[in-house]
Amino acid sequence: MTKSWMLSIIMSCSKFWVTNVWASNILRTLYYVLIILGLIWLYGQGNFSSPQAIYQGF
């Protein structure tokens, strides 16, 4: 059973995200931009070779 203080924290956070749509949109946009930047950083080095264990000379 959820404790009352946990429930009050959950309810206040959910009210914040429902009432502040702009904050939700900004954080969601920032999240996706960081994912895209991370993928660019990982694959921007030009190393698109697959590991040898996958093909093994087929």
Tokens 């660019």 found at? 40
Q: What is the pTM of this model?
A: 0.53
- 14: in domain: yes
End-to-end alpha-carbon separation of the chain, Å? 56
- 19: in domain: yes
User: What range defines the domain where residue 29 resides?
Assistant: 4-42
- 54: in domain: no
Res 34: pLDDT: 95
- 17: in domain: yes
List of residues 6+ apart from 16 with CB closer than 8 A: 23
Distance CA 11, CA 5 (A): 10
Tens-digit pLDDT profile for residues 1-57: 557 777 787 777 777 767 778 888 888 899 999 999 988 888 887 766 666 666 666
